Amino acid sequence: MPRNNVMAAAILVATVFTGAAAPAFGADCVVADPTGTPLNVRSGPQGTVLSVLDNGVPVQVVEERLHGGKRWAKVTANGETLGWVFAAYLDCAMVDDNSKSAPMRPRVAPQ
């Protein structure tokens, strides 16, 4: 097996067994904070709180970063950059050219 295939297989196995989520970069997402409170939007990963987003608000992920072992996403809405949010509190459907995959769990309706 070529070296690149071995490396790709090792990464896939490690991701499956560690429970790491696939990146949401380039995805259409919906805020889905399981605590039921508004999601903090920050100046950077763990930065100053700039605003909040309610569950059900649609956003797009434009950048991702690991900070302290946690995944953070820089999000936009209606073409405006909002800031950084804790990525685990987003429900995302990956965009694949002309089709979108189904979300992993039902999206939460705005309340």
Identify the pLDDT of residue 36: 85
Q: Does residue 105 fall inside a structural domain?
A: no
- Each residue's pLDDT tens digit in the chain (111 positions)? 455 544 444 443 333 333 344 445 677 999 999 998 999 999 999 999 999 999 999 999 999 999 999 999 999 999 899 999 999 999 997 655 444 444 445 454 454
Q: Does residue 68 fall inside a structural domain?
A: yes
Identify the pLDDT of residue 24: 57
Instruction: Let me know: does 29 contact 61? Beta carbons within 8 Å.
Output: yes
Domains in the chain: how many in total?
1
Q: How many CB atoms lie within 10 A of CB 26?
A: 14
Q: Does residue 64 fall inside a structural domain?
A: yes
Q: Does residue 104 fall inside a structural domain?
A: no
Q: Does residue 101 fall inside a structural domain?
A: no
- Domain with 68, as residue range(s), is 23-96
Q: Does residue 10 fall inside a structural domain?
A: no
